[in-house]
Amino acid sequence: MFYLLIIFIVILFLTLLTMSIASISAAPYVPLFKRDVRRMLEIAQVNSNDIVYDLGSGDGRMLVMAARKFEASECVGFEISFLPYLISKIKILLLGHNKKIKVIPKNLYTQNLKQATVITCFLLPHALKKLGPKFATELKPGTRIVSYAFRIPGLKRLKKDKPNPKSTAIHLYVV
């Protein structure tokens, strides 16, 4: 009983600490609706030739849908919040996708993104401002970027998807 309590307190502490850091760093943990995950992957036209990177992958829903429904060949997520990271790892293991999907518990700003053919992100404007130059210099020509809600300063947008006045905009870029 005592050990269970200690484990619970440690998990709670790690969860609160890493979620606070994430909120300041790039965005708080706000999972997308499944319909918006699908929209993003459709707009990027993800297919079996793609390597999809989700920056701030939360509970892994983007990676799982990219692998299962869109048959992306490889999916990689970066996530620094402890609890969403743990949930995504368990989900991927249970679904048996641990070869195709990787979630890395590291800071998204410091990762090398050059292998990606598609980048997905739902991050705050200050994070996108920091990432714009990284995208422009590091990504291979032809890489698609889809950003939920917020535009990426400094990159030329190819398309804005907002099917009705109530829906949130999704912005498509091709570097």
Ligand X SMILES: C[S@@+](CC[C@H](N)C(=O)[O-])C[C@H]1O[C@@H](n2cnc3c(N)ncnc32)[C@H](O)[C@@H]1O
Site for ligand X in 139-168 (CB under 6 A): none
Query: Could you say which residues in the range 28-47 bind ligand X, by CB under 6 A?
Result: 29-32, 37
- From candidates 44, 64, 74, 78, binder to ligand X by CB under 6 A: 78
- What is the C-alpha separation between 154 and 175, in angstroms, rounded? 11
Q: Of the two residues 84 and 145, which places its CB atom closer to ligand X in the complex?
A: 84
Q: For the beta carbon of residue 124, count every other beta carbon within 10 angstroms.
A: 16
Among 53, 84, 119, 146, binds ligand X (CB under 6 A): 84
Q: Does 75 sit near ligand X (CB under 6 A)? A: no
Residue from 56, 72, 131, 170 touching ligand X (CB under 6 A): that is 56
Query: Looking at 26, 92, 118, 128, which residue binds ligand X (CB under 6 A)?
Result: 26
Cβ(18)–Cβ(82) under 8 Å?
Answer: yes
Contact 52, 118 (CB under 8 A): yes
Do the beta carbons of residue 173 and residue 152 sit within 8 Å? yes
Answer whether 138's CB lies under 8 Å from 113's CB: yes
Q: In what order do the strands lie in the sheet with 144-148?
A: 101-104, 74-78, 51-55, 118-121, 144-148, 170-174, 157-161
CB of 77 to ligand X, least distance (A): 8
Judged by CB under 6 A, which stretch of 2-10, 66-74, 76-84, 154-162 contacts ligand X? 76-84
Tell me the HSE value of 33 on the side-chain side, using a 13 A CA sphere: 6
Closest CB to ligand X: residue number: 56
Chain residues that interact with ligand X, rule: CB under 6 A: 22, 25-27, 29-32, 37, 54, 56-58, 61-62, 78-81, 84, 107-109, 122
